[in-house]
Amino acid sequence: MLFLISFAALVSAVAARPSLNFLENHFTADNESEEVRSEAIKRLLEVFGMDDPPAIHGHKQAPQYMLDLYNTVADVDGVTKDPYILEGNTVRSFFDKLHSEQVEFRFNLSTVAMTEKILTAELHLFKLRPQGTTTFHRHHFCQVSVYQLLDTSTHEKKLLSSRLIPVHSTGWEVFTITQAVRSWVVDESSNLGLHVVVRTLGGSQMDMKMIRFASGRNHHQSKQPMLVLFTDDGRRSTSLESIDPNDTEATSTLPQAPMSGPPSRTARSLDYSEEEGTSSPCQRLPLYVDFEEIGWSGWIVSPRGYNAYHCKGSCPFPLGQNMRPSNHATVQSIINALKLIKGIDTPCCVPDKLFSINLLYFDDAENVVLKQYNDMVAGSCGCQ
Ligand SMILES: *[C@@H]1O[C@H](CO)[C@@H](O)[C@H](O)[C@H]1NC(C)=O
Ligand SMILES: *[C@@H]1O[C@H](CO)[C@@H](O)[C@H](O)[C@H]1NC(C)=O
Ligand SMILES: *[C@@H]1O[C@H](CO)[C@@H](O)[C@H](O)[C@H]1NC(C)=O
């Protein structure tokens, strides 16, 4: 957070529309500045929980499911619309690596950290229309079961999830397979994949021509089998995060009207205006972080950038309610105004409410990830 604030200070001094473009334009002149720039970018990556920017080869398409999820969770700027939609702070998607002709799937989960808490894991399969729809079938429903393969030589397997599905339906079917994925993350070598079996209601194996699921081999990418993991990396803090993102009254949107009460004509307030110059009262101002300008647009799908805002302005005596002062700030402001004690400054104009943003991005293995980052946007500013 401090980091972003110092950025705000740096940037607002230079540009009318503040942005991290500053780094590009002003830190490339010499060796030392280049170091500062790369250090700054490294620190910014750390804020996003990464050591290095993921390397993406060519143009990749994010799965529609992840795009839809992102648009449900975040607004156009990436700011969390509803903090209660996701239980954890991360959603990862994986495509099947096996591309088998059989209904067998395997997902490479090497990018999931051991420390990441697996909340839910879902297998998403696209059910295709039955072939030869003209022939009459006596079955209206079938039993679809997902098994975890335990041993390739003995074909031993464990039932994970089973459901009745209308034979003539088409579209996505979702199966919960959380336990299997938890065991795979703990021991990667135990990941032998999944096997899907379709039976009639009587229990006999069904013709796989009739019940077909799209495979990564023969069907369009938009219908590929997919594993979706809902996890939490434990980075979520609750510090200043607001429960209600709509609650952004006071200093959040409009430049402030002058302080409450008529201007005082005392000698002290004159001292004051000399000290503070023409500094405007504490308010929230824009600070646009443009991912394209930072050079991250290759791996970040959404948003293109976001407005982090910054807090700027003076907190002079007397602090009106529109300054959102803490009691502590009010007392400090009074002590300062009365000059009771030397060296006591006026309170500071800082974010008093912070919002989270969401990033939809490609990770090192080119899987699409949705991640929520707390305390990224100043929701409002106050004198503290
Ligand atoms: C960095 O500075 C050193 C000497 O101070 C110089 O020899 C070198 O060429 C510089 N490198 C770049 C990339 O400017
Ligand atoms: C935020 O405001 C919008 C419209 O102003 C409303 O539709 C939405 O329900 C509000 N969200 C919350 C969490 O109150
Ligand atoms: C999984 O992917 C990683 C790279 O992302 C690779 O190093 C590893 O070999 C893969 N594992 C399997 C079983 O394919």
Do both 258 and 312 map to the same domain? yes
Provide the 10 A C-beta neighbour count for residue 128. Answer: 16
Residue 41: Cβ-neighbour burial (10 angstroms; 0-12, 13-18, 19+): middle
Flag whether 322 is in a domain: yes
302: three-class secondary structure by DSSP: strand
Flag whether 267 is in a domain: yes
Q: Which domain holds residue 225?
A: 90-130+141-232
Q: Whose CA is nearest to atom 4 of ligand 2?
A: 246
CATH number where 338 lies: 2.10.90.10
Interval 59-83: pLDDT, tens: 888 999 999 999 999 999 999 998 8
Provide the 10 A C-beta neighbour count for residue 129. Answer: 10
Which pLDDT does position 235 carry in this prediction?
Answer: 81
Q: Whose CA is nearest to atom 4 of ligand 3?
A: 365
Which pLDDT does position 267 carry in this prediction?
Answer: 38
Arithmetic mean of pLDDT, 32-43: 89
Arithmetic mean of pLDDT, 199-203: 88
Distance separating alpha carbons of residues 185 and 229, to the nearest angstrom: 11
- The proportion of the chain whose per-residue pLDDT surpasses 90, expressed as a percent, equals 60
Non-local CB neighbours of 345 within 8 Å, separated by 6+ positions: 332, 336
CATH number where 117 lies: 2.60.120.970
Arithmetic mean of pLDDT, 232-237: 79
Flag whether 48 is in a domain: no
Span from the CA of 351 to the centroid of ligand 2 (angstroms) = 22
Which pLDDT does position 5 carry in this prediction?
Answer: 43
Q: Whose CA is nearest to atom 5 of ligand 3?
A: 365
Give this prediction's pTM: 0.77
pLDDT above 70 for 244: no
Of the bound ligands, which one is closest to the alpha carbon of residue 190?
Answer: 3
Q: Which of 178, 206, 232 is the last residue of a domain?
A: 232
Flag whether 55 is in a domain: no
Which pLDDT does position 102 carry in this prediction?
Answer: 84
Of the bound ligands, which one is closest to the alpha carbon of residue 34?
Answer: 1
> Among the ranges 242-256, 274-288, 310-324, which has the highest mean pLDDT value?
310-324
Q: Rounded to the nearest 5 degrees, what angle is found at the Cα of 360, between the Cα atoms of 358 and 366?
A: 150
Q: Which of 202, 232, 262 is the last residue of a domain?
A: 232
Do both 271 and 198 map to the same domain? no
Q: Which of 232, 258, 279 is the last residue of a domain?
A: 232
Do both 97 and 198 map to the same domain? yes
Distance separating alpha carbons of residues 228 and 268, to the nearest angstrom: 63
Which pLDDT does position 17 carry in this prediction?
Answer: 45
Interval 341-369: pLDDT, tens: 989 999 999 999 999 999 999 999 999 99
Interval 166-187: pLDDT, tens: 988 999 999 999 999 999 999 9
Q: Give the residue from 179, 233, 213 showing the smallest Cα distance to 96.
A: 213
CA of 244, closest atom in ligand 2:
13
Flag whether 29 is in a domain: no
Q: Give me 225's structure tokens.
A: 């089998």
Span from the CA of 81 to the centroid of ligand 2 (angstroms) = 8
Flag whether 15 is in a domain: no
CB 280 within 8 A of CB 337: no
- Bridge partners (DSSP) of residue 92 are 229, 369
Do both 110 and 216 map to the same domain? yes
Do both 264 and 210 map to the same domain? no
Do both 213 and 113 map to the same domain? yes
Span from the CA of 176 to the centroid of ligand 2 (angstroms) = 31
Span from the CA of 296 to the centroid of ligand 3 (angstroms) = 24
Flag whether 3 is in a domain: no
Which pLDDT does position 133 carry in this prediction?
Answer: 55
What residues are in contact with ligand 2 under a 6 Å CB criterion? Answer: 82, 244, 246
Do both 257 and 323 map to the same domain? yes
* Count of the separate structural domains present in the chain: 2
Do both 189 and 253 map to the same domain? no
Q: Is 190 in the pocket of ligand 3 (CB under 6 A)?
A: no
CB 378 within 8 A of CB 351: yes
Do both 255 and 167 map to the same domain? no
Question: For 5-19, 220-234, 249-263, 310-324, which range has the lowest pLDDT when averaged over its residues?
Answer: 249-263
Arithmetic mean of pLDDT, 16-26: 49
Distance separating alpha carbons of residues 341 and 359, to the nearest angstrom: 47
Span from the CA of 246 to the centroid of ligand 2 (angstroms) = 6
Per residue, the 3-state secondary structure of 337-381, as one string, reads HHCCCCCCCCCCEEEEEEEEEEEEEECCCCCEEEEEEEEEEEEEE
Arithmetic mean of pLDDT, 221-232: 94
- The proportion of the chain whose per-residue pLDDT surpasses 70, expressed as a percent, equals 79
Flag whether 260 is in a domain: yes
Do both 211 and 262 map to the same domain? no
Interval 118-160: pLDDT, tens: 999 999 999 998 876 545 567 789 999 999 999 989 989 999 9
Do both 207 and 103 map to the same domain? yes
Do both 286 and 319 map to the same domain? yes
Q: Is 108 in the pocket of ligand 3 (CB under 6 A)?
A: yes
Of the bound ligands, which one is closest to the alpha carbon of residue 33?
Answer: 1
Span from the CA of 185 to the centroid of ligand 3 (angstroms) = 13
Residue 8 binned pLDDT confidence (cut-offs 50, 70, 90): very low
